[in-house]
Amino acid sequence: MSQFLEISGLCAQIDADGQKKQILQGVDLSIPPGEVHVIMGPNGSGKSTLSYVLAGREEYEVTAGTATFHGQDLLAMEPEERAAAGLFLAFQSPIELPGVNNANFLRTAVNAVRRARGLDELDAVAFLKMAREAAKALSMAPDMLKRNVNVGFSGGEKKRNEVLQMTLLQPTFAILDETDSGLDVDALRIVAEGVNRLRAPTFSALVITHHQKLLDYLVPDRIHVMARGRIILSGGPELARQIDQEGYTKFLAEVA
Amino acid sequence: MPAVTQTREAVEKLGQSTYKWGFETDIEMDMAPKGLNEDIIRLISSRKGEPEWMLEWRLAAYKTWQAMKEPKWAKVAYPPIDYQDAHYYAAPRKKPGPKSLDEVDPELLRTYEKLGIPLHEQALLAGVEVPEGERMPVAVDAVFDSVSVATTFRKTLEEAGVIFCPISEAVKEHPDLVRRYLGTVVPAGDNFFSALNSAVFTDGSFVYVPKGVRCPMELSTYFRINAKNTGQFERTLIVVEEGASVSYLEGCTAPMRDENQLHAAVVELVAMDDASIKYSTVQNWYPGDENGRGGIYNFVTKRGICRGARSKISWTQVETGSAITWKYPSCILQGEGSVGEFYSVAVTNNHQQADTGTKMIHLGRNTRSTIIAKTISAGQSDSTYRGLVRVQPKASGARNFTQCDSLLIGDQCGAHTVPYIESRNMNARIEHEATTSKISEDQLFYCRQRGLSEEDAVGLIVNGFCRDVLKELPMEFAVEAQKLLQISLEGSVG
């Protein structure tokens, strides 16, 4: 037991048009500190749901199983408590907040998390300096801090903005939900570098992706294949390459 | 800074009420009997020491009012008001207040705390009584300080030639000015509530800025000597001469405790050639409890006239309080090239109802108006934007831009937009944009995932929604208004 992230028998359902729909059907997953794990799997297998459930989205009802983070019962915590505890979710489709200045949003978030972690809040000057440096490292245009959160951002800009937030919030566990989708090769590399800069013995990530390309830059420790709400197969980095070439069909047939 | 302002304001009120208390020796007579009739109006007028013409004006207004019916077109519902079951005159007397903070409504204290008002100032604001011969220990300096500050400001204003005093003082000290302008923008018979106000108004401000003078400071009722709690029937008249300008702040972000349920204010603004008036309001009167009991009925008539060429009147309002809000700050754009602006945020929660908007009447050539109205509804509340843009035949080249955005929180509230557009000139250009949106679960979850509490998330999203209006407020006001928006919507999600 690593005591970092432990998921056991996790089941969750969502209310879809009045019908309960079971999406997670007993997920077992253990991620030790300092590792990058990848979840692959066909569409609709429950990958995004897993990320939402771990981050605490209320629409999903956990019906069985446990998830602990640093030994704490993750499922009993509010979303903002999970964030304060060090969990970060890079959204597959980042949300727009009209009228909310990006820098102001980031600073409010960073200070909320710092407060919860018992750190001093950053003043505007210190924060802006930090934010500008982080944005520059991600090759983001300086005006993106002044624009409204994700409003009018291109797909690539939104994804970079997610990585910027991750950099500033300094999580110990990051879930990246298809952060590579819709990115060109250069953007992909920049995003991957952003994640790599966070890599440390105390930092782990769970990367949801369909593509090998991102993994060339990220160099994962473990690959998990998810299907029908379960992890059906786990392996080393070579598994991702195998899937990239052969698709999921073979693996699905094996477990069926 | 805001807290300091609060202190001064509160301390001033304390000081004043003592002062007035000394004046009113006849305790028996400090409140008129219930009901409204000519005798009551005569009593008000004589108590105020008014000249005959003022009394005549009031009586005429009363006659007009008697022949009028309460308007029913607004989308607000409330039980019938018995106009004979109210006091129309109460001399400023000291009402028995709470003895210590322990006796003050904890809900009120919680709000003060959230607004960042220090403890000793909370006591002042809540009207905690100080035993005879004793002074508020912390506030002593503030008393002296505030008096000197107020005096300094008054001197500065006098040197600039600006008149800023209670309307009842102006009636006596500056009768010619008051007579020339009172009721010219909002005639007594304009509507039911303006007629009522004209008959019985007892308080309010008078501002006169002479030709070419830029008022050296922002005017707020706090700096007015003899200011007291906002009256039930407030009457404000602001006249700005050629090339002069003024910015006037009305209201307070701290919640107002008031025993009077019915409020019917009238505000009149007059701008001459190249004059400019900026009128900002933050209204946070008692909205009633979460079940819709109690709360202020606020029926306001606010109107300004741009008489002169290139003159400008700008209304900015943040309306979060009152059980019923019925309010349409308007501009009559008479002077050529004059400009009218209306920036509004109206927040309703629980069972509050607001029907608010503006009227832009384009009379002169090349007149321009801008309307930005943001409506936020939560709980079981109902909010309506009602606005009129009218372009008269002579207003060639008139332009209007209107944007009405509604934000819904929860699924039991309502938001309505009722724009009236009447153009009688082919050259006019009128644009109207409207949106309705909800704070989505996605937005809330996104913010919370980044570490914000649900309340902070709502505050952030709502403030973002209102940004175009809030940026029109004077700086300190804007900061307080932001906090206020969040407080008003507390408990509206989840």
Quick one: tokens of A30?
């253990």
> Of B449, B465, B468, which has the smallest distance from its Cβ to A55's Cβ?
B449
pLDDT tens digits, one per residue of A224-245: 999 999 999 999 999 988 888 8
> Of B451, B453, B461, which has the smallest distance from its Cβ to A97's Cβ?
B461
Mean pLDDT of B53-82: 92
Q: Which of B405, B433, B446 to mutate to test the interface with A (most CBs of A within 10 A)?
A: B446
Chain A partners within 8 Å of B451 (Cβ): 80, 83-84, 109-110, 112-113, 116, 169
Q: Residue B114: its pLDDT value, please?
A: 59
* pLDDT value at A148 more than 70: yes
Q: Is A57 on the interface with B (CB under 8 A)?
A: yes
Mean pLDDT of B225-237: 62
Percent over 90 (pLDDT), chain A: 73
Chain B partners within 8 Å of A54 (Cβ): none
Q: What is the band of B14 on the pLDDT scale with cuts at 50, 70, 90?
A: very low
Q: Residue B35: its pLDDT value, please?
A: 84
* pLDDT value at B424 more than 60: yes
pLDDT tens digits, one per residue of B366-382: 999 999 999 999 888 98
C-alpha distances in angstroms, B262 versus B85, B192, B324?
A: 11, 13, 10
> Of A57, A101, A110, which has the smallest distance from its Cβ to B445's Cβ?
A57
Chain A partners within 8 Å of B452 (Cβ): 80, 108-109, 112
Mean pLDDT of A152-170: 93
Contact B443 A108 (CB under 8 A): no
- Strongest mean pLDDT among B105-114, B213-222, B340-349: B340-349
Greater confidence, B316 or B148? B316
Alpha carbon B244 to chain centroid, angstroms:
23
Percent over 70 (pLDDT), chain B: 76
pLDDT tens digits, one per residue of A11-45: 999 988 888 999 999 999 999 999 999 999 998 89
> Of B441, B454, B464, which has the smallest distance from its Cβ to A59's Cβ?
B441
Q: Is A121 on the interface with B (CB under 8 A)?
A: no
Mean pLDDT of B56-81: 92
* pLDDT value at A79 more than 90: yes
Q: Residue A180: its pLDDT value, please?
A: 85
Mean pLDDT of B304-325: 94
Q: What is the band of B183 on the pLDDT scale with cuts at 50, 70, 90?
A: very high
> Of A57, A59, A83, which has the smallest distance from its Cβ to B451's Cβ?
A83
Contact A89 B449 (CB under 8 A): yes
Chain B residue with the nearest C-alpha to that of A80: B451
Q: Residue B104: its pLDDT value, please?
A: 60
Q: Residue B257: its pLDDT value, please?
A: 52
* pLDDT value at B221 more than 70: no
Task: For residue B24, give every residue at least 6 positions away whose Cβ sits within 8 Å of its Cβ, in sequence order, or none.
Answer: B30, B91, B92, B93
Q: Which range, of A46-55, B16-25, B418-427, averages the lowest pLDDT? A: B16-25
C-alpha distances in angstroms, B340 versus B195, B222, B370, B459, B486?
A: 25, 26, 7, 30, 29
What value of ipTM does the predicted structure carry? 0.96
Size of interface A-B (CB pairs under 8 A): 77
- Strongest mean pLDDT among B107-111, B204-208, B261-265, B332-336: B332-336
Q: Which of A52, A80, A175 to mutate to test the interface with B (most CBs of B within 10 A)?
A: A80
Chain B partners within 8 Å of A59 (Cβ): 441
Q: What is the band of A90 on the pLDDT scale with cuts at 50, 70, 90?
A: very high
Question: How many Å lie between the alpha carbon of B445 and the closest alpha carbon of chain A?
Answer: 7
pLDDT tens digits, one per residue of A62-72: 999 999 999 99
Q: Residue B101: its pLDDT value, please?
A: 62
Chain A partners within 8 Å of B456 (Cβ): 108, 112
Mean pLDDT, rounded, of chain B: 80
* pLDDT value at B461 more than 70: yes
Greater confidence, B431 or B105? B431
pLDDT tens digits, one per residue of B103-150: 666 665 665 565 555 554 555 555 554 444 443 322 222 223 344 445
> Of B446, B449, B465, which has the smallest distance from its Cβ to A99's Cβ?
B465
Mean pLDDT of B424-447: 93
| Single-letter amino acid code for the residue at A102 | N
Residue pair B398/B361 in contact (Cβ under 8 Å)? The answer is no
Q: Residue B116: its pLDDT value, please?
A: 53
Greater confidence, A77 or B323? A77
Question: How many Å lie between the alpha carbon of B282 and the closest alpha carbon of chain A?
Answer: 21
Q: Is A79 on the interface with B (CB under 8 A)?
A: yes
Greater confidence, B341 or B297? B341
Question: How many Å lie between the alpha carbon of A235 and the closest alpha carbon of chain B?
Answer: 30
The rounded distance, in Å, linking the Cα atoms of B327 and A89 is 45
* pLDDT value at B156 more than 80: yes
Q: Which of A95, A110, A147 to mutate to test the interface with B (most CBs of B within 10 A)?
A: A95
Mean pLDDT of B10-25: 30
Q: Residue B123: its pLDDT value, please?
A: 55
| Single-letter amino acid code for the residue at A146 | K
Mean pLDDT of A95-123: 93
Q: Residue A37: its pLDDT value, please?
A: 96
* pLDDT value at B240 more than 80: yes
Q: Which range, of A16-30, B5-19, B190-204, averages the lowest pLDDT? A: B5-19
Contact A95 B452 (CB under 8 A): no
